[in-house]
Structure 1
């Protein structure tokens, strides 16, 4: 089997060869405040079972947060079984925990590395699962898996055609430190990957030339909509119209409103006398996100706890084609992580 990888917004899309079909998937209710863009979910599907590897809600600062580095392969398979929200035909849909990488170096524990065991555990026998679409390591949310390469190929063509036509298929939910200047709009930026201090970082490029485009600079676009604001923060829905690594966190930094838990790019936003401005990306090193004292009090976090704040970016909705051309599109919705819901409650962010 040949597997192809393409970069996603902070994650990846993994697609295979051709063989199989498609059946209508689930509708999974998020929360009323994040159902998004006027969409109403019909019913709710919760992950099956329970897990001892997720932190309890209680008084924990980040309830439900997974620590994948402490898991064995068998334990990770059990976690992923719990995260499955629907299994129909060749398609398996799960709600990926934050912090779990999709791909990695040989020998690393990733989603891709345990797919053979997960396929067996879900009773698929010789039909090994492939990743069709997934959020990145630091992003939580929907993951599409398929045991049928033809289904993966069909969806790849759908995603590619939708992107070329400027039709968004994915909606992310984010909490930002800061409130965008406008309630809705498009963020446009030319981006490139640059190797800095031993890591690959995304850097904006002003007025890219034709040579820049040929050398890997990509013009990117994201649509954003502010759903609610409170305590100097915003609940924002993001729809990427292009595909580039870390596109959404970088776009929100360009709006001077970094995503909560962004410990890579938030340092590019400086403040002087209460006014925010962009620091040069090329000379600004990644560091732990710094939140002001008032926000820490609202979040009920100490500075040391805030340094461990997970990225509040969740792939919560996907639009897919129906089984046949005459069928209505399929909508998949994934519940928010518990720590994400706690943050919304602490900040008083509600759908308006």
Structure 2
């Protein structure tokens, strides 16, 4: 009880002060994206908004993540992670976790920030952080209860190479981590037994909705109801519609006379995604530049429990390269003008 009181006290209750601060942080995040666009015009950057951590110093990444904050109220923080940045890693590696102390200090937090929800390294989007153990536990309990009730709490946007056969549906398959060509990769498991479910195999489920489609590509909304490494990439691969920029699992799809089919997992290893000439022209890139194509998978929205700490929904804007791809392909989100 005392812990909950202290966290609520630290959050600032329902006063207007923290809310104003949150709005200010949102404007800073927009400036961060504008910075990417400005630099891309100067240097003619191929994919504006694509982060290369290996070219940044610790201080440069820390300063960038300070401007990536979308929301801050008491112990709760949300930021918009660029693609290519790992959330965790080895102590000597440059990761989001390694610069959180500087972000927390910048926000005036006295306690350490912990990750509550976050997308994978190659994905972009919302990262939910908390410096209060009680709030962290309460949110994690909310997410666990929602999964059991099959109520989605996170929404991703993805651009796919190929159009799903149905405009909406669910993808349900058992997955496991396995060694393929000397690498740890996710593979589907047919008809899992009770024994295999105890040995690392997990039943996974994702709801999908095709928002728009054109030129053999689609803009798809994905709502996972389970959490497994690379779940969304593998699920879309099994639909024969890999995510654009997926240079790992898209290799499992073969094509003969324009018809896609699944290749045996044992004989396929990750490689640069293969795109046809029409798609390359629409994306305004060459075949050689395909290897640099970032993953078009963005954690756009997180639903939160009703508290005084945060709104019910947090939203992260798309990275500049993602928006540019939608424009180039003529794909439309509900609030965007369609390309003429």
Whether 1:333 and 2:318 are equivalent positions in the alignment is no
Tell me, in whole angstroms, the C-alpha distance in 2 between the residues paired with 1:103 and 1:328: 25
Checking the alignment, whether the CA contact within 8 Å between 2:119 and 2:127 is kept in structure 1 is yes
Task: Specify the SS of the correspondent of 1:344.
Answer: helix
Query: 2:139 matched to which residue of 1?
Result: 155
Shift of 1:52: 9.9
What is the CA deviation profile of residues 154-176 of structure 1, one whole-angstrom value per residue up to 9, with x for unaligned ones?
10100111111111000000000
Q: 1:47 aligns to what SS in structure 2?
A: helix
Q: Tell me what 2:7 maps to.
A: 20
> 1:141-152 residue pairs with structure 2 within 5 A?
141-152=125-136
Please report how far the alpha carbon of residue 197 of structure 1 lies from its aligned counterpart in structure 2 after TM superposition: 3.1
Ranges in structure 2 where 5+ consecutive residues have no aligned partner: 20-25, 335-340
Map Cα deviations across residues 196-217 of structure 1 (whole Å, 9 max, x no partner): 3332100001111122111111
Match of 2:82 in 1: 97
Q: Secondary structure at the residue paired with 1:176?
A: strand
Gaps of 5+ in 1: 1-16, 27-43
Cα deviation for residue 244 of structure 1 reads 0.6
Check 1:332–1:256 CA distance in 2 against 1; reply closer, same or farther (3 A cut): same
Q: Distance in 2 between matches of 1:264 and 1:48?
A: 31
Q: Displacement, 1:118?
A: 1.7
Q: 3-state DSSP class of the match of 2:232? A: helix
Q: TM-score, normalised by structure 1?
A: 0.85
Query: 1:275 & 1:196 partners in 2: Cα distance?
Result: 25
What is the root-mean-square deviation of aligned Cα atoms in Å?
Answer: 2.2
Match of 2:50 in 1: 65
TM-score by length of 2: 0.88
Q: Distance in 2 between matches of 1:205 and 1:268?
A: 15
Pick from 136, 159, 166 the counterpart of residue 182 of structure 1: 166
Indicate the structure whose relative CO is greater, using CA pairs within 8 Å and at least 6 residues apart.
Answer: 1
2:33 touches 2:319 (CA, 8 Å); kept in 1?
A: no
2:175 to 191, 196, 200: 191
**Alignment pair present for 1:311 and 2:295:** yes
The question of 1:346 aligning with 2:328 is answered: yes
1:108 aligns with 2:93: yes
Larger proportion of helix:
2
